[in-house]
């Protein structure tokens, strides 16, 4: 069954000098309005114990434009400024719902420079996009076509740290589910092998950051030697940002290709619920874990499975996938990270990663069958195995061996 979704299409564009100046002014005004509204809401809450709504912030924005100090806010399109207030309202909603931390101020150097235009603030005609306060359309590089007959409802313009300009067009798109299949796969994320599949296949980690580490180190050394606040330091910062952008682009491209392949070939995908934030506390592995981008990998799997009618199962983070024998269900007492192959008491010899992927798949199939999550349970004093592990053992026995 086809489904209609809101989908963003991101393109790079090259603004004229006038357009770049107008967008830069807009970015600065958006940041100022967001920070000033956040300051007012914080003062009202901690000083008077009252909340300021979006309507009140919008009215305050109108008054700010009438003052001599902030009259320049009226020179840019009002829509991105109103959208900034809506984003702040959403941030506070997430905070009060305990889904996020307290909203933070936007920094000129560290925050992403962006502005959001709704339908009333841009013109879409004959495949050309013209923003408010501009006389010419943006010079967009159409790397892929928009859905047939689709028109953007929202346009977000941004500039990254490397000085590249992007336009993200939100459109209505129709997603056709992928053909049904009976295949299922378990995925074990790692560092040496980015992912190991329950089929026995190991996909090597491209290590994008390591490949450009020498170039990145040189750019960062040059940046550290420049005087703060100088033009040369600004140029060196852009050079370092371009190296980071190159790494991020290649990593994202690789992950898109990998996740698309996994979703197309399998009806059921099973992964572990890894706590990447805690794993990054390991100083020796933090750099390699960040380069592997496990969180981005999971995010892509989640929305692609939802789009194409696949089932994504996430098993509990405490499930002993590496130490659990896929043949008999026995859990090894200790299995250090440097042990890549181990022998169970039953005589089965396991590759650590392949065994983990197979036990993850077995646990996922058991979860799918019983409709419950895999949670750590107290082991039985008689058998030394939990009920979940026994159920996983039965499911593992049904997986064909390679």
Q: Is 109 exposed, middle or buried (0-12, 13-18, 19+ CB in 10 A)?
A: exposed
Could you identify the residue written with the tokens 């990270």? 337
Q: Under a CB-based contact definition with an 8 Å cutoff, are residues 31 and 112 in contact?
A: no
Beta strands across the sheet bearing 311-315: 202-204, 193-197, 184-189, 268-272, 311-315
372 is catalytic: no
40 is catalytic: no
DSSP string, 9-68: EEEEE---HHHHHHHHHHHHHHHHHHHHHHHHHHHHHHHHS----HHHHHHHHHHHHHSS
Catalytic: which of 22, 116, 209, 353?
353
Question: How many residues are given for the chain?
Answer: 402
Q: Rounded to whole angstroms, how far apart are CA atoms 254 and 85?
A: 36
Q: What is the CA radius of gyration of the chain?
A: 26
Q: Rounded to whole angstroms, how far apart are CA atoms 21 and 33?
A: 18
Q: Helix, strand or coil for residue 140?
A: strand
Quickly count: other Cβ atoms within 10 Å of residue 155's Cβ. Answer: 21
CA nearest neighbour of 166 among 289, 272, 382, 10: 10
The alpha carbon torsion through 75, 77, 78, 80 (nearest 10 deg) reads -130
Tokens of 215: 């170039």
Quickly count: other Cβ atoms within 10 Å of residue 164's Cβ. Answer: 15
316 is catalytic: no
Catalytic: which of 116, 188, 291, 391?
188
CA nearest neighbour of 324 among 183, 182, 186: 186
Could you identify the residue written with the tokens 């290709």? 257
Using DSSP bridges, classify how beta strands 268-272 and 311-315 pair: parallel, antiparallel or unpaired: parallel
Backbone angles phi, psi at 319, to 5 degrees: -65, 125
Give me the active site residues, please.
188, 272, 353
């Amino acid at each position: 069954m086809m489904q209609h979704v809101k989908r963003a299409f991101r393109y790079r564009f090259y603004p004229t000098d006038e357009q770049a100046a107008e967008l830069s002014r807009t970015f600065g005004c958006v940041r100022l309005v967001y920070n000033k509204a956040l300051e007012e809401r914080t003062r009202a809450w901690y000083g008077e114990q009252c909340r300021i709504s979006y309507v009140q912030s919008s009215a305050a924005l109108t008054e700010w434009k009438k003052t001599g100090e902030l009259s320049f806010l009226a020179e840019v399109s009002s829509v991105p400024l109103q959208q900034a207030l809506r984003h702040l309202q959403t941030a506070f909603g997430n905070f009060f719902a305990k889904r996020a931390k307290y909203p933070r101020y936007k920094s000129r150097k560290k925050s992403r420079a962006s502005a959001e235009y709704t339908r009333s603030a841009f013109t879409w005609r004959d495949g050309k996009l013209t923003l408010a306060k501009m006389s010419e359309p943006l010079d967009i590089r159409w790397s892929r076509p928009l859905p047939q007959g689709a028109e953007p409802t929202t346009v977000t313009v941004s500039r990254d740290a490397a000085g590249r300009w992007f336009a993200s067009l939100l459109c209505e798109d129709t997603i056709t589910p992928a053909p049904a299949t009976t295949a299922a796969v378990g995925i074990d994320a790692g560092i040496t092998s980015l992912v190991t599949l329950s089929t026995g296949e190991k996909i090597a980690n491209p290590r994008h950051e390591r490949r450009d580490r020498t170039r990145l180190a040189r750019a960062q050394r040059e940046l550290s030697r420049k005087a703060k606040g100088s033009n040369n330091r600004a140029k060196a910062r852009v050079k370092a940002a371009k190296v980071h952008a190159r790494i991020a682009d290649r990593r994202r491209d690789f992950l898109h290709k990998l996740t698309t392949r996994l979703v197309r070939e399998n009806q059921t995908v099973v992964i572990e619920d890894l706590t990447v934030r805690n794993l990054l506390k390991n100083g020796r592995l933090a750099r390699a874990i960040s380069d592997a981008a496990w969180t981005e990998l999971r995010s892509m799997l989640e929305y692609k499975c939802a789009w194409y009618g696949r089932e994504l199962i996430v098993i509990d983070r405490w499930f002993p996938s590496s130490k659990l024998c896929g043949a008999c269900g026995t859990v090894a007492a200790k299995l250090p990270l440097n042990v890549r192959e181990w022998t169970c008491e039953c005589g089965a010899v396991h590759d650590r990663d392949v065994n983990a992927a197979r036990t993850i798949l077995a646990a996922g199939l058991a979860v799918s069958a019983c409709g419950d999550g895999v949670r750590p349970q107290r082991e039985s004093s008689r058998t030394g195995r939990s009920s979940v592990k026994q159920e996983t053992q039965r499911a593992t026995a049904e997986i064909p061996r390679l």
